[in-house]
A and B are shown apart, each in its own frame.
Chain A
């Protein structure tokens, strides 16, 4: 018979399993030159590889174009949720001040738009900002607990390209020679 502690262990394990990042196996090239890695990323894309990722300690100018990453849809989330927030603020100030609990304030009409514009404005910003952050978290699969690392220096002064094995055009030998050719200081099998 399982002890209560075993059950607890199982529950903790399954919760952990949900949030713990699952790494994929693949090949990683590591650079110390941020210009070289942009060229290497463009060549990786030219090989027909689609699922690869570039890891850098700071934003790289031109990496989106080199990797062929399309523009994020998050601006649309921001825009639509901003409009929704604006509509909600308008409806809510009207409902609270003119319908549900009408009070005359400073001799103004119950529903006085100028007084409510700040609230409507704040609702617009709140909805747009929170949903943008939420969409960004969802899109990046955050939060990730204890994800596998390719190299600890990638948060400091190194750059990496990672190609997972499950990419249809994955070819470890080809990628290794390509990375070396573009000045990678190290190429290794990794999990990310």
Chain B
């Protein structure tokens, strides 16, 4: 089929039903957060941080996906790029969310912000040049400034191309994409260090940013696959996206399932082998009682099960199968975030019940609202991109 005869796919039809569901989710999340905040602010902010980081990861993951594809002049991704851009449309909301966290939440989360604690802890005094309130603010503002700027450039120019039809735009995006990818490596690593690793300020692991990146790409692919399958099932992507695109996304999902496990194990093995107190402090609570079960559960659920579920070729080309695995991985990513954050709240018990789940669902409502809003306003396929014919005829042999 020639691209000339293809009908433009149009925008997403965001119905009142969608909006009601998102509003209900948002309301439930907000209510759960406020109630928990009154009764137990520490728990509320731990739950907030879990969901905030989860969705920041999805938003910036979408931007990262579009950037790496611009960077390498990839042809196959064109018809699915807008879904990555839609995820990046959530970035401004994360900027507001991080502001709330910085102003109201951080004192419930990070012990090194308390001068009283630092005064009695030589190790923390030693880390003060990095771990202090002022520099934390500067870094956070800087990181979000960079992400928002590149989000505006990369997504904005792509949307502009829809209107102007300027095919040279794709090449103009290579330079900002390269700069963004380099800055992304630094900023995302440091932000995960600041917000997650610094929950236990005595601990350090140089591979931690890569660990968070592994989970980021894995869950980003999972969400993109679900979005694409949704539009494919509605027939809106007919002629644009087929099982060959799913196959490649499935390969990404598989690859980063393995990558996450590889990094997670590398981090664990070196700490286990060296057995130094300032390093094992992270794994100590996580290898006891309920947390141990969760650690083992992550090995099984975030690596072994999706590994075998995605191994055959047909598994990566089947919409239904891929969707089930993607939903599974998105749930596992939540458990991973929870496993990273909640031992800081309660070392002994796995605290995971109604407040955590509702706050998470509330963020889902917020995230889906902004993603669908973006897709409702813009063509779901960047049809004016010069490389679209490559994507329309995408064919995967292996």
Contacts and interface: CB of A to CB of B under 8 A. Distances in A.
Partners in one complex: yes
Contacts of A118: 269
Given A61-B395, A71-B313, A117 B265 contact: yes
A93 to B, nearest CB: 14
A141 B254 CA distance: 32
B313 to A, nearest CB: 7
B294 to A, nearest CB: 18
A52 interface: no
A28 B397 CA distance: 26
A52 B6 CA distance: 37
A114 B268 contact: yes
Contact of B313 (A64, A75, A114, A117): A75
A64 B269 contact: no
A59 interface: yes
Given A71-B313, A79-B311, A117-B265, A59 B397 contact: yes
Interface in B286-330: 311-313
Given A71-B313, A75-B313, A79-B311, A62 B395 contact: yes
A4 to B, nearest CB: 52
A5 interface: no
Interface string A111-130: 00011011000000000000
A61 B397 contact: yes
A106 interface: yes
A114 B269 contact: yes
Contact of B273 (A64, A75, A115): A115
B272 interface: yes
Nearest to A118: B269
B397 A64 contact: yes
A117 B265 CA distance: 9
B286 to A, nearest CB: 14
Interface residues of A, number: 13
A163 to B, nearest CB: 24
Interface in B201-222: none
Given A75-B313, A79-B311, A117 B269 contact: yes
Nearest to A82: B311
Contacts of B397: 59, 61, 64
Main secondary structure of the interface of B (DSSP, over half): helix
Contacts of A61: 395, 397
Contact of B275 (A64, A71, A75, A106): A106
A61 B397 CA distance: 7
Interface string B268-280: 1100110100000
Interface in A9-66: 59, 61-62, 64
B312 to A, nearest CB: 8
A115 B311 CA distance: 26
A107 B312 CA distance: 41
A62 B275 CA distance: 54
A125 to B, nearest CB: 12
A114 B272 contact: yes
B308 to A, nearest CB: 10
A14 to B, nearest CB: 39
A59 B268 CA distance: 42
A64 B395 CA distance: 12
Contacts of B273: 106, 114-115
A75 B314 CA distance: 12
Contacts of A106: 273, 275
Interface in B118-166: none
A151 B212 CA distance: 54
Contacts of B313: 71, 75
A139 to B, nearest CB: 16
A77 to B, nearest CB: 14
A61 B396 CA distance: 8
Contacts of B395: 61-62
Given A61-B395, A64-B397, A71-B313, A115 B269 contact: yes
Contacts of A59: 397
Interface string B244-276: 000000000000000000000100110011010
A186 to B, nearest CB: 28
A117 B262 CA distance: 11
A67 to B, nearest CB: 13
A135 B156 CA distance: 50
A123 B90 CA distance: 44
A115 B395 CA distance: 42
Nearest to B314: A71
Most chain B Cβ neighbours within 10 Å, of A62, A71, A114: A114
Given A115-B269, A117-B269, A118-B269, 4 more contacts: A61-B395, A61-B397, A79-B311, A115-B273
By Cβ-Cβ distance, the 10 closest A-B pairs, closest first, are A61-B395, A114-B269, A114-B272, A59-B397, A117-B265, A61-B397, A115-B273, A62-B395, A114-B268, A117-B269
Interface of B: 265, 268-269, 272-273, 275, 311-313, 395, 397
Interface of A: 59, 61-62, 64, 71, 75, 79, 106-107, 114-115, 117-118
5 contacts: A62-B395, A71-B313, A75-B312, A114-B273, A118-B269
